[in-house]
């Protein structure tokens, strides 16, 4: 689809959004538009046909963080990066990302598939839904996107071209600060209840933990292994019992493979902390299955599609997967800590109404986060990780 835009950036009106989407509907269709987004960085509109109910989504980036205002400027390039990441990941993870119908770099919008028949996975999980295919789909998505955009599958010229194309320094800086730096220091961006101060100050004073966080930050800064989603959590996934779609890769860039895997697993752990009995068992199953599907599928792709000259050398694939696993645990630990005491929290924990239970759940998240960072070389299986949840 080709779209035409004026040369000066401005926030779309609902009438403009309808005009941009009109070509995707039958001539004369009665269209309506409403804003549906509640995110921190963008406007999201749904344009739909009143008669059929069918719709499309228009997502427009703002030149600043919506949640803060113009005092926090952001690049509009992230809209183009998001659209191209959806297209690139869609080449390999068929059916697991929304289809992109059109983009405009000057107005920083993307027109894409409407997923309103699905629910945000985080919201559904909080309500107790199980999403039986979630972990299988995400494990597949992770293996397909991360393997096929890595040196294991791409000619080095193509891989380096993509790494340059997806250079995303401004949004990476947000990640560097909010995940890897701020929560480990007494910085004003942090946000936590007074009841957590003693626990938080212990983190700030733990030089061993901060050393390991620094190593993980260094990995994030320097290891351009594959094209990451960059912000893969349960709030960036739409799902129902049979379908899963990964959205919002505006933080996409070339980084360490374990980062995407770790962020998703960390957000499952946060949900698991809030559950008991069979409910927690369901989340444990998702955590284990995510890694198992990823590892199995990555191995199959390595054997069948890998172009690495050393791919048949005994032990090489195993060493690669071992590194990914250890990275996954470390990044998951950082994510758990930042989602508990950093700037951006998760509703799974913040939404616990009983204050005492909420505080204890957050302390558990911090303890698991520390353990994953400090003991990532000792935890050798995904069952070692889920044992941390089972022991709560």
Torsion angle, alpha carbons of 44, 110, 256, 165, to 10: -150
Per residue in 149-195, pLDDT tens?
Answer: 999 999 999 999 999 999 999 999 999 999 999 999 999 999 999 99
Q: Which helix (H) or strand (E) holds 77?
A: helix 77-92
Residues 6+ apart with CB under 8 A from 282: 130, 275
Per residue in 353-377, pLDDT tens?
Answer: 999 999 999 999 999 999 999 999 9
Q: Residue 255 has which token pair?
A: 């980084």
Alpha-carbon torsion (354, 356, 359, 361), positive or negative: negative
CA-CA distance, 276 to 213, in Å (whole number)? 30
**DSSP annotation string for 354-386:** SHHHHHHHHHHHHHHHHHHHHTTTT--SHHHHH
Give the strand pairing for 64-65 and 69-73.
antiparallel
**Phi, then psi, of 184 in degrees rounded to 5:** -95, 5
User: How many Cβ atoms sit within 10 Å of the Cβ of residue 81?
Assistant: 22
Inter-CA distances, 311 with 77, 315, 316, 324, 390, Å? 36, 9, 7, 16, 37
Report the pLDDT value the prediction gives residue 1, as an integer from 0 to 100.
44
Q: Using the predicted structure, report yes or no on whether residue 3 has a pLDDT greater than 60.
A: no
Q: Is 292 exposed, middle or buried (0-12, 13-18, 19+ CB in 10 A)?
A: middle
Give the strand pairing for 226-228 and 253-255.
antiparallel
Q: Which helix (H) or strand (E) holds 254?
A: strand 253-255
pLDDT category of residue 65 using cuts at 50, 70 and 90: confident
pTM of the model: 0.95
CA-CA distance, 209 to 214, in Å (whole number)? 9
Report the pLDDT value the prediction gives residue 2, as an integer from 0 to 100.
43
CA-CA distance, 335 to 330, in Å (whole number)? 9
pLDDT category of residue 5 using cuts at 50, 70 and 90: very low
């Amino acid at each position: 689809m080709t779209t035409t835009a004026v040369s000066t950036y401005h926030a779309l009106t609902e009438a403009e959004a309808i005009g941009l989407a009109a070509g995707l509907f039958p001539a004369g269709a009665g269209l309506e538009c409403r804003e549906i987004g509640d995110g921190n960085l963008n406007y999201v509109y749904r344009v739909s046909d009143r008669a059929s109910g069918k719709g499309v989504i228009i997502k427009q980036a703002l030149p600043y963080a919506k949640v803060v205002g113009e005092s926090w400027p952001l690049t509009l390039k992230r809209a183009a990066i998001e659209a191209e990441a959806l297209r690139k990941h869609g080449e390999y993870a068929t059916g697991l990302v929304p289809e992109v119908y059109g983009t405009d770099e000057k107005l920083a919008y993307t027109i894409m598939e409407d997923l309103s028949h699905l629910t945000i996975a985080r919201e559904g999980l909080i309500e107790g839904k199980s999403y039986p295919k979630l972990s299988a789909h995400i494990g597949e998505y992770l293996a397909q996107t991360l393997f096929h955009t890595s040196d294991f599958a791409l000619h080095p010229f193509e891989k380096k071209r993509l790494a340059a194309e997806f250079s995303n320094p401004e949004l990476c800086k947000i990640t560097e600060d909010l995940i890897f730096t701020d929560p480990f220091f007494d910085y004003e961006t942090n946000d936590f209840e007074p009841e957590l101060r003693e626990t938080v100050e212990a983190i700030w004073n733990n030089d061993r933990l901060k050393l390991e966080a620094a190593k993980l930050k260094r990995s994030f800064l320097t290891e351009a292994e594959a094209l990451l989603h960059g912000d893969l959590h349960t709030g960036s996934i739409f799902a129902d019992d049979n379908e899963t779609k990964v959205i919002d890769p505006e933080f996409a860039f070339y980084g360490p493979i374990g980062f995407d895997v770790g962020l998703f697993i960390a957000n499952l752990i946060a949900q698991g902390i809030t559950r008991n009995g069979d409910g927690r068992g369901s989340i444990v199953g998702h955590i284990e299955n995510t890694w198992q599907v990823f590892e199995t599928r990555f191995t199959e792709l390595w054997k069948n599609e890998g172009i690495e000259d050393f791919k048949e050398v005994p032990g090489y694939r195993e060493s690669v997967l071992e590194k990914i696993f250890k990275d996954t645990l470390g990044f998951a630990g950082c994510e758990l800590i930042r989602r508990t005491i950093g700037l951006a929290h998760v509703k799974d924990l913040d939404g616990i109404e009983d204050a005492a239970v909420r505080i204890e759940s957050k302390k558990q998240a911090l303890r698991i986060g520390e353990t994953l960072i400090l003991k990532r070389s000792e935890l050798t299986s995904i069952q070692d990780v889920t044992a941390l949840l089972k022991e709560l």
